Amino acid sequence: GENVEQHPSTLSVQEGDSAVIKCTYSDSASNYFPWYKQELGKGPQLIIDIRSNVGEKKDQRIAVTLNKTAKHFSLHITETQPEDSAVYFCAASEGTNAGKSTFGDGTTLTVKP
């Protein structure tokens, strides 16, 4: 089955700096890669996703890049703000079943004011 590895497990940055979280996957059949943000006491919420026919996607301060050959994808957050502090999860799935995903173990991001 699919295996997703996520690094780092914790990340601390100063407000205004950039943050980068990296994930690798093992199954070349995976073609959908969502990123979720989870705040304390809440369920994960999708912040950005990318499909295998696209190399990069951007949404305001958040961007995701995908390298299918190397089987890795990354989340980039620019101009970080204290409200970006949360746990971030990458995931990988196959087909059109968006919720049937294998998740990474999460990255706890802390943005210091």
Partner 1 sequence: DAGITQSPRHKVTETGTPVTLRCHQTENHRYMYWYRQDPGHGLRLIHYSYGVKDTDKGEVSDGYSVSRSKTEDFLLTLESATSSQTSVYFCAISDQGDSTEAFFGQGTRLTVV
Instruction: Give the footprint of partner 1 on this chain (CB under 8 A).
Output: 1, 6, 34, 36, 41-46, 49, 51, 89, 91, 96-106
* CB nearer to partner 1: pick between 69 and 96: 96
In whole angstroms, how close is the CB of 86 to partner 1 at the nearest point?
14
User: Rg (Cα) of the chain, in Å, rounded?
Assistant: 13
| Shortest distance, position 33 Cβ to partner 1, whole Å | 12
Between 56 and 105, CB nearer to partner 1: 105
Nearest to 7 by CA among 107, 93, 85, 111: 107
CA dihedral 25→99→34→55, nearest 10 degrees, is 70
